[in-house]
């Protein structure tokens, strides 16, 4: 009888632990989705257009490879260029985690 209660207690703790981990993943996914709605440079913009609209980047890296890929780093995201055209804008994972740690604003 005691074994059954202990087993139920252990399974309950395991279930609650797994549930809380799943909730943390869901919250992170929701936060990432929110961040993806940000106004980031879109594909096809030129370097001049990005700089005019989003300002001076914190860091400029590249060009590297063939075709040449250049990366500009802003506070919460990076912008990748092929030659002088945007091919991708990527949110910084640390920025998303920092916002989660700071809690709701």
| Residues 60, 26 share a domain | no
Q: Is 95 exposed, middle or buried (0-12, 13-18, 19+ CB in 10 A)?
A: middle
For 34-84, what is each residue's pLDDT tens digit? 656 778 999 999 999 999 999 999 999 989 999 999 999 999 899 999 999
| Residues 96, 51 share a domain | yes
For 26-43, what is each residue's pLDDT tens digit? 566 666 666 567 789 999
| Residues 33, 57 share a domain | no
Which domain, by its residues, includes 45?
41-105
| Residues 72, 26 share a domain | no
Please tell me the distance from the alpha carbon of residue 27 to that of residue 72, in angstroms, as a whole number: 29
pLDDT of residue 92: 83
| Residues 92, 51 share a domain | yes
| Residues 98, 61 share a domain | yes
| Residues 52, 18 share a domain | no
pLDDT of residue 44: 96
**Which has more pLDDT, 46 or 15?**
46
pLDDT of residue 63: 94
């Amino acid at each position: 009888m005691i074994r059954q209660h202990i087993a139920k207690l252990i399974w309950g703790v395991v279930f609650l632990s797994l549930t809380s981990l799943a909730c943390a993943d869901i919250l992170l996914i929701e936060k990432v989705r929110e961040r993806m709605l940000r106004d980031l440079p879109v594909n096809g913009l030129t370097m001049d257009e990005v700089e005019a609209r989003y300002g001076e980047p914190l860091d400029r890296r590249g060009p590297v490879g063939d075709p040449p890929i250049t990366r500009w780093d802003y506070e919460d995201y990076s912008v990748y260029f092929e030659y002088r055209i945007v091919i991708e804008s990527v949110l910084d994972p640390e920025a998303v985690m920092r916002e989660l740690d700071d809690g709701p604003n």
